[in-house]
Amino acid sequence: MIEAKNLTKKFGNQLVFQDLNFQINQGEFVSLIGPNGSGKTTLIKILMGLEKKTSGTLDFNKKETIGYVPQFRNIDLDYPLSIEQFIRLNLKFTPSFTKRKSNNQKICDILEKTGLTSLKDRPLGLSSGGEKQKAYLAQALLNDPQILILDESTASLDVEVKMQLMDLVAELSHKYHLTVIFITHDYELTKKYTQRVLLFQNKTIKNVNLNNISENMFGKEQ
Ligand SMILES: Nc1ncnc2c1ncn2[C@@H]1O[C@H](COP(=O)(O)OP(=O)(O)OP(=O)(O)O)[C@@H](O)[C@H]1O
Ligand SMILES: [Mg+2]
């Protein structure tokens, strides 16, 4: 379970959010929504220890690991790694033959789960937007995290590829009881895939019932 109590974040004098109180249960698939600059990415950076909170608490079971697909990546056309090599970056180096063998198995499994087996040798830089997103997802899932965070991972994709990716995440979430935090500006995807909505509004977070969400809560896509 993830739990925020009176969590506040300022950058210098700028208040980003104040007194956030919410819980996310194990295995839940929630959307985190709100306008540009409302603090969505900042909140998950605090969760991952990449940014400091100003006050309050944000706790989760530290035995749980987090897989993260960040909002922006710049992969040049001549990026030197293949899809498989890119996913492998998330493995820890080990001199042990047995561990290397089990790592190879892990890679095969995740390529299969994400539908990338036949694309594994394709240079990442030359892959399509959807293929890249699958590779990012595969890398984030490689070490069997209990929590998966998708920061607008579907924003630049066409509708069909968006749905494919979300179907896959929903299936994995269901099968492995994976907690998913989906940061998005997409009303349709939120309605279709997530169970609950956390909305940033007026510098705080509100729980919104899925039946009560409206398009104007989602802010603008960048
Ligand atoms: N390292 C930083 N230093 C100073 N200000 C920052 C920093 N990171 C973020 N901010 C500011 O904090 C606010 C929240 O930013 P954040 O990236 O969390 O928004 P967001 O909700 O993810 O927006 P978007 O929908 O555009 O991705 C913004 O005003 C941003 O400019
Ligand atoms: Mg953001």
Q: What type of residue is 6?
A: N
Mean pLDDT score, 105-128: 95
Q: Which ligand is nearest to the CA of 32?
A: 1
Given CA atoms 3, 173, 91, 155 in this order, what sign does their dihedral have?
negative
pLDDT of residue 152: 85
Ligand 1 atom nearest to 35, measured from its CA: 25
Ligand 1 atom nearest to 185, measured from its CA: 25
Residue 79 has pLDDT above 90, yes or no: yes
Residue 47 has pLDDT above 90, yes or no: yes
Residue 221 has pLDDT above 60, yes or no: no
Mean pLDDT score, 172-179: 91
In three state form, how does the secondary structure of 44-107 look? HHHHCCCCCCCEEEEEECCCCCEEEECCCCCCCCCCCCEHHHHHHCCCCCCCCHHHHHHHHHHH
Please give the distance, rounded to the nearest whole angstrom, from the Cα atom of residue 40 to the centre of ligand 1.
8
Kindly state the percentage of the chain with pLDDT values over 70: 99
pLDDT of residue 222: 43
> Ligand 1: which residues within 6 Å by Cβ?
11, 16, 34, 36-42, 71, 222
Please give the distance, rounded to the nearest whole angstrom, from the Cα atom of residue 17 to the centre of ligand 2.
14
Q: What are the chain's domains?
A: 1-64+146-222 (3.40.50.300), 77-143 (no CATH)
